[in-house]
Amino acid sequence: MSTLVVPGVRVEAQFDVLPPLPAPSGIIGIAGVVDRPPVTTRLIGVSKVSELKQLIGPGTIHSMKEAVHALSNGASEVIVSAVSGGSAAILTLLNEDSVPAVLLKCRFNRKWADKLSAEVRTIRDALGNIVRVTLYLIVDGAAVETFPDLRVAPGQPDDLFDTINQKSNLVVALDAGFQNALPAEGTYIFDAPGTPINVLVDGDTSTLFQLLPKEDAEPDGLRAVLTVSDSTSTINIKVYRGAALQEELAGLTMNPDSDLYLPFVLLAKSSLIRIRAASSLAAGKRLPTATSGPVIFTDGTSPGANDYNDAIDLLTEDPRIDLICASIEPARADNEVIQIHQSLVAHAVKMADDGSPCIAFGSVTPTEAASLDKIKDHASAVRNRRFVLIAPSRAEGAVAGMVGRMNPKESPTFKTVPLFDINPSSYRESELNRLLSSTTNLLVVQERAGRGIVVLRALNTIGDQISVTRVADKAIRETKAISENFIGQLNSEDARTALKQQIFATLTRMEREGAIVPSTDGKDPAFIVDVYSTQQDFAQGIVRIDIAIRPVRAIDYIYATIRVKN
């Protein structure tokens, strides 16, 4: 403050450090394969299942079912870290002349191991010509998608390519003769009647598609300039009327699994032009012939365990995440699943050390589920306070969503869990005695007579209750958020007192909520707080906080004694 020269009064206002808002909970980070990975490596947050389709593609609904289950079970937000690597499975359907007619390509990268197949059935006219086909997409022997009575009729609601590309969560359909084809660059000028203009395949004489003016657009003087980027194979379209630029659509692609697919973008965003798809085959030869049974997709490969590790590391960018898991396909080898789960453990421990603790969830593999010894080995390999191993297989998303919905102080034990398309475990009582004991500490989701499908006991792999860890994590996050606001303040008695008061107020709130409790005999308080700085700490700019809390515990067992009196 400057010194007064002329007599007067100068007033300086000093504001106290504001307490932060309570730390959020129930935010789940999931690493997995998605349909449309972001162009730049980044996390994508979603709060509804519909946003999964909109932001990272419809195939994500199938490739990352854990995210769907978590959101459906009440998670407030899911943070997706896309796993790169692998390749998509494909299947070529032939016409009656044994010529490739339709190429089906999986929307996401995965090795299906003979689990994904397609079957085609045909309808013929009186002359024996194929006029319509019905396509079945089959996973694990069950038809999961059916597209009846399709034909090749661009622009019509029953067109084979448009129907599959817009409605299937598993595959896209391409004209087999136009695989990887790009349009020829050029300036396309409409005449006064608006006659359709043929756009050829680059370097070929085949017509890839036709450009047409929109129904309500005046074609006279309208021209479209089409350019293709050699480095990215993306297409840019500029539409002029005379010399004036009317529209510009950039970064378009001929990949129907992209949100920048050229026909869809023109349909949705252009007010002047549209396109009509062409075919590489002659009329009457464009539909595939019937298959003798399900035909298996080939060439698909899955990302490696190291690719999952990279995606898990990316979750560190969002410190709000307090629950994490990985979406792993059922066919992956057991040792790779354990390796991915160990990456989750390492991530959770690191985040706890950084003051942003989280709990990792994983499930046993389908081959492990029937072997108690394999389950025990799996649990031993990931044994940590911050890891929860679950049975049945692939139930981690559903359980994490249910846990995220609950208040941290509440235990999931004996709470119902919707598993959707996953069958609950069915272990005998003698098997449960081993799985729930301290040698394994498995979180088992199983049907219980009179209660439905429930978590039998909510344990991490060291045998402690999940709710205890969540309450401790909440105290860690609250303490860190409060303390960070005091960095840069003077290390005075007043500042240390203010810091202590804010932490005390937060822990008092947690006690009143029932998250932390006094000892059962009432002699020890629910928490103790001390904030101090020794003379050496003072010289080094250090303030120390010592806190002791007692998280509330759930009732896991009740022992009743009944005395029968005469």
Q: Two tokens at 242?
A: 């005379």
Strands 116-124 and 130-139: antiparallel
As a whole number, mean pLDDT of residues 237-246 equals 90
- Helix, strand, coil percentages in the chain from 3-state DSSP, rounded to 5: 25, 30, 45
Mean pLDDT of 86-104: 93
Residue 424: CB atoms within 10 Å: 18
Per-residue pLDDT band for 337 (boundaries 50, 70, 90) equals: very high
26-50 pLDDT tens trace: 899 999 999 999 888 899 999 999 9
**Stretch 418-443: mean pLDDT:** 93
- 443 pLDDT above the threshold of 90: yes
pLDDT beyond 90 at 172? yes
Is pLDDT at 470 greater than 70 in this prediction? yes
pLDDT tens-digit series, residues 272-282: 998 888 888 98
Which parts of 83-205 are beta strand (E)?
88-94, 100-109, 116-124, 130-139, 142-150, 171-175, 186-189, 197-200
Q: How far apart are CA 417 and CA 397, in angstroms?
A: 11
Average pLDDT of the segment spanning 506-513: 94
| pTM (two decimals) | 0.90
Q: Quick one: pLDDT band at residue 284, thresholds 50, 70, 90?
A: confident
Give just the sign of the alpha carbon dihedral 376, 380, 385, 389: negative
Q: What is the mean pLDDT of residues 122-143?
A: 91
